[in-house]
Chain A
Amino acid sequence: MGRPPHETTDLAPFYAESERLRPPDCLGELQRRAFVELVASCPVSQFRKSDLGLLCRYCELQVMCETAAFHLGADGMVVDGKEGPKVSPWFAIHRDCCRELRSLSQRLQIGPRGRTPKAPKTVAGRVSYYERMMLEGDLDDAN
């Protein structure tokens, strides 16, 4: 039996500015929150600037999925149609969003597959609230 894989903790170096990706301005409020939550819960080294597009799409899908789930819960999975009861249109939206989320999560190495034995073993460090404020844009001069 070989040596067990080592695990390192993601630590912010002293006197270094945050290297975490910030949500772009084009994202809506809910998508921004999803973005910050995701980026703050993963190691800094996990995402690069080139991943920004995929990350944004992932967050948009997450919000869409939650919106669909809310409507399914509130209105029911079966709704009245012109020709009698039918499956809620939100069901298809939820299913499609989940499918795309799964696909993107594999690309971004998020979720259970990102924690397989061969996956990089860097554990996300705790994000200080000040860094979270920076990611959320709370420290911008306009605020």
Chain B
Amino acid sequence: MTLTDVEDEPLSAVDFEALDRAIRICRTQKTPADAEQIEHKLATELWREAAEFASYSCQCDALHLQPWQDPPCQVDDLVSAINAGDDGILGDYAAAKLLQRLLDRGLSRYEPDPVSALKAKRCSR
């Protein structure tokens, strides 16, 4: 799945807020190079593409993913990924499981820090 595969799908308010937050994090809480990169993307690409990139970047950092592992925001087909089972290496199954938890709790797939968001949701209940 590419970052723009879901571009045609309308953004929910939850997704929009999460993407906006991801951009803010890239701008203010990462290295100056990251801030410069997101500014460049915002200036040269569609807002959604830049925002999805920001979310991807934030999730990779927050989850300490290995270079070959995709974050939850990159899961294209949730059902297929879960039915395929865990291969123990690529992390697609774990990403799908995490995405499922996010969606079950009404959170966005673009949540910059999925684990903290899930914890916060659990505490607020």
Contacts and interface: CB of A to CB of B under 8 A. Distances in A.
Interface of A: 12, 14-18, 126-130, 133-134, 138-139, 141, 143
B88 interface: yes
B63 interface: yes
B68 A130 contact: no
B93 A128 contact: no
Q: How large is the interface on B (under 10, 10 to 19, 20 to 34, 35 or more residues)?
A: 10 to 19
Contact of A17 (B69, B89, B94): B89
> At the interface, is chain B mostly helix, strand, loop or mixed?
loop
A127 to B, nearest CB: 7
Contacts of B65: 128-130
B97 A138 contact: yes
B89 A139 contact: no
A139 B97 contact: yes
A129 B97 contact: no
Given A18-B88, A129-B63, A129-B115, A139 B93 contact: yes
Interface of B: 62-69, 85-86, 88-89, 91, 93-95, 97-98, 115
B88 A133 contact: no
A114 B66 CA distance: 27
Given A133-B94, A138-B97, A139-B97, A128 B89 contact: no
Contacts of B95: 130
Contacts of A127: 64
A10 to B, nearest CB: 13
Contact of A128 (B66, B85, B88, B97): B66
Nearest to B62: A129
Nearest to B66: A128
A16 B94 contact: no
Shortest 8 CB-CB contacts between residues of A and residues of B: A130-B94, A129-B63, A130-B91, A17-B88, A126-B64, A128-B64, A139-B86, A133-B94
Contacts of A133: 94, 97-98
Contacts of B88: 17-18, 134
